[in-house]
Amino acid sequence: MIRIKVLAYTPNPERMIALAARQTRLKKDVSMNDIDDQRTAMLIRKLLSLKHLSPFEHASFTFLISGISRVCTHQLVRHRLASYSQQSQRMVKIDKESFIIPPSIRENKKALEVFQKVVDEAVKGYDELISLGIPLEDARYVIPQASETKIVVTMNARELLHFFGLRLCKKAQWEIRKVAKLMLDEVKEIAPNIFEKAGPRCWDYGYCPEGDDECFKEMIKLKPP
């Protein structure tokens, strides 16, 4: 089961963003007491509507993501404006319970049998290699990408908005799409004005960037007012 935990974030992230934006237009130095919550919310929404997103880089969020596969993290780390610290297969031994099964396989009895057989053979070979004195870092070469992992991820608010735009798309792979949805749920609790309308790119574009008009018609109905 995918688990998302926010480990840390910039204190009062929305006000930090608002003050960064205000400083671009003020001669005096800004301070955290310059504006109240209402003014902060208004400014955040205005920045988003204008696509003036550089101030959003001043607020960051750090997540612990667990219960996901290496398939998922291979996609996740392609978002390069972020920091990552992943559980090492050189240091942590893999066991036969540490594999993520896609729903399409889990719901198909025959496919599940094939999947489990392959995983069991891979783990058996992995354990045999270790017993022969092969180090974990080399024995892991026989392990499927379905192996479970944990990763600590830090992204700023601007990159999170970009990440959600790509990974909440209906065409995104199921696992990273679920990760994105759970991450969005968490940050909405912390910074609702920043992320209240975060969603797939088609919500901003007004069309499907992948040319799927039927998908767009379905997804646009879900856009917040």
Active site residues: 167
Say which residues have a Cβ less than 8 Å from residue 188's Cβ, sequence separation at least 6: 195, 196, 198
Cβ atoms of 114 and 101 closer than 8 Å: no
Q: Considering just the CA atoms, what is the radius of gyration of the chain in Å?
A: 21
CA distance 159 to 178: 18
Residue whose C-alpha is closest to residue 30's, from 39, 74, 119, 132: 39
CA distance 128 to 214: 51
Which residue intervals of the chain are DSSP H helices? 13-23, 37-50, 70-76, 103-106, 109-131, 136-139, 157-167, 174-190, 192-195, 201-205, 213-220
Cβ atoms of 149 and 73 closer than 8 Å: yes
